[in-house]
Chains A and B, each alone.
Chain A
């Protein structure tokens, strides 16, 4: 006996380590691979990330509906996703609590605990997050429902006639605070009573009466009708994110299915304990199964992460995150792997401009004519999310405002949008509107200081005459009013009319002409080079000028000359294409791509770029 105890302790310790290992790996995966800051940021997905405001108004407005308290707490905790180390910790703790509750419920129901089942919910959540969905709120409602189930089991461990009252009280409270979680509670408690405690009438009453009780509660306390009383289980946000819907179905069906499966297993085991099926079931639910379950969980987690992972989705959000935070090196590094994505191309151009490389390295990266301003994507929320910062950079406050207002409509009152809308309205001189955006922002968790500082500034100096950013944007904002229906060069020309030193407007205009192959227009603006402090004509421009001249036309360069290197390069390009391959585009492709795939010359010929190795 004395020897058994240390062995048991050791086995227990190893079990604990393994379980802990699972959740440590879980945390590390969220920290290092998923990076919940990206979900917080959004970048066009997910659509249902919650807004949170401090203050009683938001609290009252949220909790006064079924499920409101869980929604409020979830929204609060989700804001911490923006802190790299904290977000994963919160999600891991939630997953661990879910595991704990499942384990406890199964233990209370049956000797066979099926410990590996308890790892399924964390793995389902892991899969969902890997696809950059937001299932945190759903998981919170699930956790609360599990907690109530466990509480019910605890309070009714000794069979008493008052157990039904306990159930009803808990059901009513859960409906108020956890909304749709009551379904799980009623289902699990009903199955528990029916199948494990053998109180058939009670179990049936639980299952059948729950919708009635909830309906009455919804009508009496919340003034709901039939539809509304049950509506909160199926949030509208599930319409926008089918992944979350899958999570809901999996989570809510897992425990009831497991309990029913356990009961069936018990039935099969009675009298069949020596058979193969019985042995298999024994091992699944027994101690061997329990020992293996953390390992199984880790393996399953890895498999799910592998299959759910989409590098493309992550890159898309990450590039936008970097772009919004002006991390240009990271933008370029990540985007380089996706040369054919318009959204990536758009971010690349912005990063190249801000690092002073647009006029030199534009065609080192993938380009397309529609990528510069995402033309043809005006109804895509993902496009709006990328365009507002570009428009702000350019000086087009109205167009930026439009993209931001559309984004609020699609994604909610995110601090990211409010900050920019406040800035835009300050630039436009509409301090009334700016105050409202700042007022809302001042109630967020992490942007309130910025908002308050601007509210004070507006108070003391409504014109914001000392704010550099505001003054700069005012100096480049266009004065010519046009009706904007689709992209044309006028959106850049109007900016240059207002301020001929608007460098980004000039470089984007040049890029627009190059990408749409309008060399005549491009040549027409070369006279503006002297409005900027270019030491020499940028390489890409030289290539375009040489190409234009090759057609026999003249370009006014304001006293500047094309460099010898560009002339030599152009000559070589022409030699290869015209002499070596006789003007055969297809045959010349590989050679030209390898030597000139990063040039405008190649793009002009093939409408492709970024191919030079």
Chain B
């Protein structure tokens, strides 16, 4: 019996090997000989045309959206060997090593795609050349984002923070809610794009709301959740918001979900002393403060603020929620003396006519980007949300903050933007293609502040986004892989050691105490 099994195995192996050899030898080598030409470029998906691409990005695999029986893409630039890809399916999968070589040799040059499609009736057709530019500046090596299904109120499904190596298609889990039962991960913040200084908010039915702090190689757990967080460039403290963000739904608007900030304030966590503090201008009872972000030199804290016009306990949603518009303000800060200065208005909602949210500053201190939308504090759920930029150098010279709407915007929501460490790239989440499903887009920013046509985060399978039912949100550039991931974080989170912090405020009303217990299912924002 045993001998029969072994014999059968050998025979099967031999048959398979022979078949593979025959197939390989008999497979015809395809060439593009004669072809007719069409002026217009081929339709490709994703739309990788007329963009500026990072020289260290993963191959921009795409699908040719033209009918045919065989496809060929010829990718070339000034120097180096062109890459030719033949495919029976419309998917063009570019080999990685030749791609790297081509991009590396042609920084600052143009990159061309010639697309050929073979049809039964016309033979080969060559379409107009698609041209992109290769930037001189690299993009940061990693992108960390959250992946989850679109959420309406409860979170029982999978939510995870992932890090993607932008030079290839590797995606690894940083933290996943499957590990600790019915909970959520969010609010991942990196100090100056560094992977060794990270704050990560985690919530669990069992453990409560905590924050994991990765400080160089040490991971610890802070006994409270920090909201929208911003590291001081020195890494010595982080300002965060405390919010009360109930969700509700619209019966006829395209975006179903909505939220408002019932009550909010800012506080800051000092890493060395492991204490939480606040300041009067950061937590006024009459104001709602949120979306903190530091200037590149750490001397100013920018944040969004609006008068609180409703009682904390009242009708839900409160009357006038859709009239609320946030201003953008900033306050000076002396790190050495832990002293806060005077508040000054940067941009007024009254002047812009829109609500300002999510300010971010480029690491070189030159640019201030932010979202503006019709009302409220949460642009991802406002179709009207667009990205804007202020040139801070000009602002310093003129004393005025002149803002411009970026050309990269669409008629859908753009939000969750962040800057690369070299201030040459921005990444943002957009619903431009897939309605409810947010995807990550990169745009190159040159020295003059011009922002170029965005390109979507490339995937190994170019058809990926056409079937992916998850959203990619809160993308952040990181210069290297996150120092601690997965089980190491899980062990700390599950462990009993934690930094106990006395809260100078609970919710947004300044009084001391501990955070309220979380017995309810999580209400999540994406």
Contact = CB atoms under 8 A, between A and B. Distances in A.
Interface of A: 57, 224-228, 231, 236, 239, 379, 396, 398-399, 401-402, 405-406, 408-410, 412-413, 418, 425, 428, 430, 432-437, 439-440, 442-443, 477-485, 491, 494
A98 to B, nearest CB: 23
Interface in B168-205: 178-179, 181-182
Given A236-B178, A409-B155, A396 B437 contact: no
A481 B317 contact: no
B487 A227 contact: yes
16 contacts: A228-B486, A231-B179, A398-B253, A405-B149, A425-B435, A425-B436, A432-B432, A432-B433, A432-B434, A436-B467, A436-B468, A440-B468, A443-B467, A481-B251, A485-B249, A491-B251
B20 interface: no
Given A409-B149, A409-B152, A480-B251, 10 more contacts: A225-B491, A228-B179, A405-B150, A405-B151, A409-B151, A425-B435, A430-B435, A432-B437, A439-B463, A481-B250
A433 B431 CA distance: 9
A409 B254 contact: no
Nearest to B436: A433
Interface of B: 149-157, 178-179, 181-182, 248-254, 256-258, 316-317, 321, 431-437, 461, 463-469, 486-488, 490-491, 521
A435 B153 CA distance: 24
A436 to B, nearest CB: 5
B461 A399 contact: no
A398 B251 contact: yes
Contact of A408 (B149, B249, B432, B490): B149
A231 B178 CA distance: 10
B384 to A, nearest CB: 14
Given A405-B150, A484-B250, A236 B317 contact: no
Contacts of A402: 152, 249, 256-257
Contacts of B465: 436
A contact patch SS: helix
Nearest to B153: A406
A432 B157 CA distance: 23
A481 B253 contact: yes
B249 A432 contact: no
Contacts of A437: 469
Contacts of A481: 250-253
Contacts of A227: 179, 487, 490-491
Contact of A436 (B152, B258, B317, B434): B434
Contacts of A435: 434, 466
Contacts of B253: 398, 481
Contact of B157 (A410, A483, A494): A410
Contacts of B249: 398-399, 402, 483-485
Contacts of A409: 149, 151-152, 154-157
Given A236-B178, A408-B149, A433 B437 contact: yes
A434 B469 CA distance: 11
B248 A484 contact: yes
Contact of A440 (B256, B321, B431, B467): B467
A448 to B, nearest CB: 12
Contacts of B469: 408, 413, 418, 436-437, 440
B436 A398 contact: no
A484 B252 CA distance: 10
A478 B484 CA distance: 49
B411 to A, nearest CB: 11
A482 B486 contact: no
Given A406-B153, A443-B467, A433 B490 contact: no
A408 B157 contact: yes
A379 B152 CA distance: 11
Contact of B248 (A226, A379, A483, A491): A483
A483 B317 contact: yes
A479 B155 contact: no
A257 to B, nearest CB: 30
A432 B471 CA distance: 13
A399 B155 CA distance: 18
B152 A224 contact: no
Contacts of A412: 157
A437 B467 CA distance: 7
A428 to B, nearest CB: 6
Nearest to A443: B467
Contacts of B152: 402, 405-406, 409
